[in-house]
Amino acid sequence: RDEDSHPRQKHRVTTKGADVPQHIDSFEALRERYQIPQRLLANLQLNDYKHPTGIQSYGIPILMKSRDLAAISPTGTGKTLSYLLPVMAALESPISSSKSDAGVGVRAIVLAPTRELAHQIHNECLKLAAGRKWRIVLFSKATASTLSDRNVRDKVDIIISTPLRLVASVQEGNLNLNNVRHLILDEADRMLDPEFLSQVQEIVAACTHPTLQKAVFSATLPAGAEKIAMGMLRDPIRVVVGLKDT
Ligand code: ADP
Ligand code: MG
């Protein structure tokens, strides 16, 4: 009980930024506050996710409020669910799924530095997706060629990819990102280092929708990467879990 009522103490969470939304003490609080689809909550239970972790308590409400976020939380603290749950809740809400507002083309992108990580994120996403026909694509050479068919790519909800593959499809004109509403960089310390930075910047530039939400997640964010991240985000909130905030 104590661990739930005092998540800030247990997880040593620090926040920085304007108008930080109230954190949640339970996943049920999400339904009361944001009318999160019942099916998503049921899928949490099915997977035995009973209580939100520190980064989930703070990160989920921030993303549900359509804010940009830089989240720093140690490995194994559930960062994946922190962004997948709000993104999937937003994509499922009646407003965004109504024909008039949804627009055409992929609406959420998660970038990860390796195929292995993208694969793990995809698996986590499938757990939450059970019971509804989500179109979640783990981007690869094979899916890239199916997506060159407009009828296929216009129906995709979420793409999970490494930067290089996605940039190639954008450059070839096979993928339009102007309807992307949520762009997540996982393992952001690596995504923002010189190996990937120019690819990531190209993807960010291709996501031209005015209500694009961006978030970066990482176990650590060295000063250089943090500076780049903060320049990329709009009025961001920064959340740090389990480390002294300097
Ligand atoms: P991180 O990205 O921070 O390293 P992950 O998102 O990979 O962490 O999650 C680590 C593990 O914890 C995964 O097996 C995931 O399914 C599990 N997990 C995530 N959130 C919860 C939760 N609220 N309750 C129980 N298990 C969780
Ligand atoms: Mg992770």
The pLDDT of residue 6 is 44
Q: What is the pTM of this model?
A: 0.92
| pLDDT digits 0-9 by tens, 141-192 | 888 888 888 888 888 999 999 999 999 999 998 899 999 999 999 999 999 9
The span from the CA of 48 to the CA of 68, in Å, is: 28
Ligand 1 center from residue 53 Cα (angstroms): 8
Which residue among 25, 47, 77, 239 is best mutated to probe the pocket of ligand 1, counting the most ligand atoms within 8 A of its Cβ? 77
Nearest partner of 87 among 129, 27, 139, 26, judged by Cα? 129
Which residue among 30, 80, 123 is best mutated to probe the pocket of ligand 1, counting the most ligand atoms within 8 A of its Cβ? 80
Nearest partner of 70 among 244, 243, 228, judged by Cα? 228
- Ligand with an atom nearest the CA of residue 57: 1
Ligand 2 center from residue 149 Cα (angstroms): 31
| pLDDT digits 0-9 by tens, 116-145 | 999 999 999 999 999 888 999 999 888 888
The pLDDT of residue 8 is 44
Protein residue with its CA nearest to atom 2 in ligand 1: 79
What residues line ligand 1, using a CB cutoff of 6 Å? 49, 51-53, 56, 73, 75-81
State which amino acid sits at residue 49: Y
Strands 13-16 and 237-241, how do they pair?
antiparallel
Nearest partner of 86 among 51, 61, 68, 112, judged by Cα? 61
ipTM of the complex: 0.99
| pLDDT digits 0-9 by tens, 64-93 | 999 999 999 999 999 999 999 999 999 986
Q: Which atom of ligand 1 is nearest to the CA of 74?
A: 3
Q: Which of 47-61, 94-108, 172-186 has the lowest mean pLDDT?
A: 94-108
Cβ neighbours of residue 106 closer than 8 Å, sequence gap 6 or more: 153, 156, 157, 158, 159, 175, 177, 179, 180
